[in-house]
Amino acid sequence: MTIPRTYAAIITAAGRGTRAGGDLPKQWRKLGRDSALARSIGAFAGFSRIIVTVAPQDMDRALAEIAGPVVLVAGGETRSASIRAALETLEGSDITHVLIHDGARPLVSDAVIRGVVDALRAGAQAAAPALPVSDALWRAEGGQVTATASREGLFRAQTPQGFALAPILAAHRAFREGAADDVELALRAGLAVSVTPGDEDNLKLTWPGDFARAERILGNAMDIRLGNGFDVHAFTAGDHVWLCGVRVPHDRALLGHSDADVGMHALTDAIYGALAQGDIGRHFPPSDPQWKGAESHIFLRHAADLARSMGYRLSNADVTLICERPKVGPHAAAMQARLAEITGTDPDRISVKATTSERLGFTGREEGIAAIATATLIGG
């Protein structure tokens, strides 16, 4: 979507959103890997100028969390005061049109934004998305229905609401008492407002249940990645083996450049594979002497941290150890807990189990241990 360079976006995020519940104002709460506000800002990435209004007490958070070429403006006591402050920063600039969007509508689509922009480019003084009311309407009092109301001609307003800059700035200056939204101010000022197509997914986060609904919508566009890992280590002289971070007594040890934790190595490679980031050898070359004898939790923790830095979380992992001995069952719960601790995942999302190769192959001859692991990463 190509946006004229003379079009700016204002994202309102100075409210407190107490009806949505939670410890943070709703615009700062997470939806997937990003805050609701970050998602709203991202939807307008094609605009040459983006202005975000934030409460003065949130300015430090905004400076720390909001990335990219964004102008921050301290909000006022009301929504209208905040928008007026943002509009004032555009006076005298080359900006001719502005789209004003609620920061609590993080799922706005390109199509909705494009509809507003196209209407303005076609000559509309103002344009805003809306959906026709399709449900029956009632009036009620004291928990009882008292009357019905016609839904004919009624629409549910959404944002972004777009305007030619000069008239909407004049309307905000003229009607400082504010209004429910900017379309109401535009109508008071005598501006004609075109209705453009809205979107059911463009919901405004208002109540606690709205976050669950938004998560479900995002779930339809989740980035799900699967990775597989396989590793083998031969036995050598010793009195224990390390398996999935647990020291298991045995009459032999596993031979390797590090501590030879075959299960943890397989899981680490599964995560790297899901990220398309190669394998352990790419990140910790065996030719580097500093990794000789290293504890394998270093590798696994690095892979888990890399996944988080790339916007993914470990949904679940499954590790299968292939050996005749030692017996894994008595230690499986401890292994599960250790892998969960290292990856920062709930233990019930980690599976550790074992099987034999029915006395076939090198594992059947007890020459070593193999491991297969699968990891599921979810982004979005």
- Of residues 104, 78, 95, the one with CA closest to residue 172: 78
Residue 12 among known ligand-binding residues: no
Measured in residues, the chain has a length of 380
Residue 279 among known ligand-binding residues: yes
Residue 365 among known ligand-binding residues: yes
Residue 357 among known ligand-binding residues: yes
Pairing of strands 97-102, 7-13: parallel
Cα Rg of the chain (Å, integer): 29
Residue 358 among known ligand-binding residues: yes
Residue 271 among known ligand-binding residues: no
- Of residues 93, 40, 84, 38, the one with CA closest to residue 64: 38
Residue 23 among known ligand-binding residues: no
Residues 15-37 as b/e (b if ≥16 CB within 10 A, e otherwise) read bebeebeeebbbbbbebbbbbbb
C-alpha 322, offset from chain centre: 37
Residue 355 among known ligand-binding residues: yes
- Of residues 88, 15, 3, 95, the one with CA closest to residue 43: 3
Residue 281 among known ligand-binding residues: yes
Residue 215 among known ligand-binding residues: no
**CA–CA separation, 375 vs 380, rounded Å?**
17
Residue numbers in the known binding site are 231-233, 257-258, 265, 279-281, 355-358, 362, 365
Residue numbers in the known binding site for a divalent metal cation are 231, 233, 265
